[in-house]
Amino acid sequence: MTETSRSGTLPLTALRKGDVGVVVDVVDDGQMLGDSDGSTLARRLGELGFVPGADVEVVAVMWLGHDPLAVRVGGSTFALRGREAEQIRVRRT
């Protein structure tokens, strides 16, 4: 990753309603979901389609902290809480 793209990345929560962007990275903070053989938060986000290079569009945001927000990715729409959305680093396009 080049220095310029690194400085240009934002958490998904920084996007406003109607903004489009492209996923640069999904930060893995090791948060486990489910049992010991389960997915981590970052892994599950990847399984839903939040992988580097994927186009995202913020469809709706709730007031106060953009939590939760609704995002379109890969032809599907997902509601994410702020905690999840912050892990997704995007570049505005």
Which of 49, 55, 86, 91 is the binder for another protein (CB under 8 A)? 49
1 binds another protein (CB under 8 A): no
10 binds another protein (CB under 8 A): no
35 binds another protein (CB under 8 A): yes
Q: 53: Cβ–Cβ under 8 A, 6 or more apart, which residues?
A: 22, 23
Toward another protein, which CB reaches closer, 14 or 48?
Answer: 48
34 binds another protein (CB under 8 A): yes
Question: Using H for helix, E for strand and C for coil, what is the string for 8-77?
Answer: CCEEHHHCCCCCEEEEEEECCCCCECCCCCCCEHHHHHHHCCCCCCCEEEEEEECHHHHCCEEEEECCEE
**Residues at the interface with another protein (CB under 8 A):** 31-35, 37-39, 41, 43-49, 51-52, 59-64, 67-68, 70, 74-81, 83-84
